[in-house]
Amino acid sequence: DGGITQSPKYLFRKEGQNVTLSCEQNLNHDAMYWYRQDPGQGLRLIYYSQIVNDFQKGDIAEGYSVSREKKESFPLTVTSAQKNPTAFYLCASSIEQTANNEQFFGPGTRLTVL
């Protein structure tokens, strides 16, 4: 089955520690995205990548970093510089980054920083 996987589903970390969230897709999509959701709010774009070895900051990139070394993988690192890291994180992909293309979403990772 084609799709997007994110692991783990729940993640707990101590304050001050960096943590990396995994996102893998086998849909052969060029574009990938990371979103954050906070209670009562919509999805806010953290980073996106249109193609391998290229990525761009989204609306709330501060305190996060990404890499896109392989087409199928787009890991997100939440660094200690992110002031409010506790949130629900969603990864998505689309065939390519154009306005008409729908995004396909993974199941999400809920990160709690203690």
Give strand ranges (E) for 52-108. 54-57, 64-66, 76-78, 87-94, 104-105
In the list 27, 45, 52, 95, the residue contacting other proteins (rule: CB under 8 A) is: 45
Determine the Cα–Cα distance for residues 31 and 68; give it in Å rounded to an integer: 10
In the list 11, 13, 44, 88, the residue contacting other proteins (rule: CB under 8 A) is: 44
Residue closer to other proteins by CB (options 84, 100) is: 100
Q: Interface with other proteins by CB under 8 A: which residues?
A: 4, 31, 35, 40-45, 48, 56, 58-59, 90, 97-108
